[in-house]
Amino acid sequence: MRYILIPVKDLSHAKQRLADLMTQAERTRLAWIMLETTFAAVMRVRNADRIAVVTLYPPAISLAEHYGLEVIVEAEQISESRSVDFGSKEAQKRGAESVLRLPIDLPLITAEDIEIILNYDKIQPSAVIVPSRDGTGTNAILRHPPDLFPSHFGLGSFLKHLNEAEEAKAECKIVYLPRIALDIDDPEDVAVLMQRGRGTPVCEALAEMGISKRL
């Protein structure tokens, strides 16, 4: 059984690295629109069996239930890695044989990109990794089985996950997907998004905020 797992933290403090560009209210709005974009994309995926959200953020729980997604409620939020590993183990208890972790800050994400990742889920033990635009981060990762190795999201996570896969003697497939490679962390990412993502809900919101004039 294939699971998609989406970790969601408290968005009221989202995207601190954009503090010089946007107010907290604007950053929270941006994160919320990206969350809705992610949920809409995963709902169109045809080759996943279940979709779960791991969170303790009440608005995210309500939105997940609105979409009919499973909810894995955390007792506490310590880090992205801890949340993903907890959620993966809970999904495994529910029958997951593989888990694809997707973050919520991929504004150009599409169902087709997600399906490409899932199509590489063939054997056990194995991993599929989509690196970030700069090649150092991990923007999507599928593990089969879900507890194949621990998560190391943050600075240098791509290399850390490659090393973990090697130690686990797992086959590791690296997949380059430009839309999933673009995550929103700093003003440069926002500038790239506004060039590449015209017409998307996220870009329309940024335009309403007048962000282009601040870059």
Give me the domains of the chain, ranges plus CATH numbers. 2-213 (3.90.550.10)
Residue range 175-199: average pLDDT? 96
Tens digits of per-residue pLDDT, 12-21?
999 999 999 9
**CB-based burial, 79-115: b 16+ in 10 Å, e otherwise:** ebbbbbbbbbebbbeeebebbbbbbbbbbbbbbebbe
Binning pLDDT at 50, 70 and 90, where does residue 215 land?
Answer: confident
Tens digits of per-residue pLDDT, 3-40?
999 999 999 999 999 999 999 999 999 999 999 999 99
Residue range 88-111: average pLDDT? 98
Residue range 183-200: average pLDDT? 95
Predicted structure pTM score: 0.97
Q: Which pLDDT does position 122 carry in this prediction?
A: 86
**CB-based burial, 168-198: b 16+ in 10 Å, e otherwise:** eebebeebebebbbbbbbebebbeebbeebe
* Cα 190 from Cα 107, distance rounded (Å): 10
Residues whose CB is less than 8 angstroms from the CB of residue 154 and which lie 6 or more positions away in sequence, other chains included: 79, 80, 81
Helix axes 201-209, 24-43, angle to 10 degrees: 170
* DSSP β-bridge partners for residue 37: none
Task: Give which of 79, 88, 78, 13 is closest to 53, Cα–Cα.
Answer: 88
Q: Are 18 and 202 in contact (CB under 8 A)?
A: no
Residue range 126-145: average pLDDT? 97
